[in-house]
Amino acid sequence: MGSTWSQFFPPAPSLIEANLPNQNGKVFIVTGGYSGVGLELCIILYKAGGKVYLAGRSEEKALDAIARVKDANPSSGGTISFLPLRLDDLTSIKSTVDTFTAAESRLDALFNNAGVSNPPRGSISVQGHELQLATNCLGPHLLTQLLLPTLTHTAATEPAASVRVIWTSSIAVDMSASKQSVDIEEVLQSNASPQRYYEISKVGNWFLADALATQAGPSDILSLVVNPGNLKTALTRHISPWVPFLAAPLLYPARMGAYTELWAGLSSTPTISDGGRYIVPWGRFHPNPSTELMRAMKPAGDGGTGASIKFIKYCDEQISDFK
């Protein structure tokens, strides 16, 4: 309970705009970058001189956000550009990556920030997957795998663990998901509620981060997962209005969540041996991760449940035809 409580009332962030080193020459992709945490992160990276690709499905919203970012930071030496991305349509993601790699030969950090929470029951992706599993897990998994050659190329000439992939989870992992089954086959067969699918997708983000750490760690790419924090963002737009109203005293500005992702993506503290670890607000390692979820990320032969292996296999199967 103490570690969950500390995520509601975190200590002050240690990495913010004021002490962030210049990011000139660094290239970043931020998914869901035209609102909320993603927008705040884009502002910070752009202001620090980075080359930022704001990835999202709405060009109109993205261009409006980009104009506001530039107007608010006229002295920045950075650049910020729109990258079309629709995470709920697996057929479109390779085109996104082709567009990016035609323009760039390096990628220093991929922030898988975009997500959806509690859409109406029955909401599905273009390929017919439950919308939260598609947007929060399958789309980011495919995007990451297609960008892995560029990340690996960049990591070959950079210090170990400086090239990173950041996955976005939620306090839901500690509040409820860690206390229930995380067997993907069971969930798919149970006609689960939108909230249950959300919880599974957020646990799934941790599974994906951990699996990528094993896959890409030997190439010195660091994969981490974050709970950005309890924030005032549009992520709660599908939830009954009374929920965010009652929770308002416990919610923080989106900029604070950007600090969590900033620490995960750019702090010098994490090393390659920290691959797959969980970051909590406003940038620190989870002090006491769920024993059950840690077991879920181990094979049955090593004292685990193998739930993560099943989930990754499911994700791999769903994206295999779209690489």
HEC readout, 45-69: HHHCCCEEEEEECCHHHHHHHHHHH
Which residue numbers are catalytic?
169, 198, 202
Domains of the chain with bracketed CATH = 2-322 (3.40.50.720)
Residue 246's pLDDT band (boundaries 50, 70, 90)?
A: very low
Q: Which helix (H) or strand (E) holds 256?
A: helix 254-266
- Among 42-56, 73-87, 245-259, the minimum mean pLDDT is found in 245-259
Cα dist. 211→276, 297, 314 in Å?
A: 7, 9, 13
Token pair 């030496």 is at which residue?
A: 77
Q: Write down the pLDDT at residue 189.
A: 83
DSSP 157: T
pTM of this prediction exceeds 0.75: yes
DSSP 6: H
Burial of 44 (0-12, 13-18, 19+ CB in 10 A): buried
Q: Write down the pLDDT at residue 172.
A: 87
DSSP 138: I
Rg of the chain over all Cα atoms, to the nearest angstrom: 18
3-state secondary structure of 303: coil
> Residue range 307-312: average pLDDT?
95
How confident is the model over 17-38, as pLDDT tens digits? Answer: 999 999 999 999 999 999 999 9
DSSP 35: S
How confident is the model over 89-115, as pLDDT tens digits? Answer: 999 999 999 999 999 999 999 999 999
Burial of 143 (0-12, 13-18, 19+ CB in 10 A): buried
List the structure tokens of 26. 């660094």
pLDDT score of 241 more than 50: yes
Residue type, 90: L
Q: Write down the pLDDT at residue 116.
A: 95
User: What's the CA gap between 74 and 54, in Å, rounded?
Assistant: 18
User: What's the CA gap between 220 and 272, in Å, rounded?
Assistant: 6
CB 70 within 8 A of CB 80: yes
First to last CA, the chain: 42
Question: CA 195, 278, 210, 215 torsion: positive or negative?
Answer: positive
Residue type, 77: G
User: What's the CA gap between 299 and 139, in Å, rounded?
Assistant: 25
Max CA distance (Å), the chain: 57
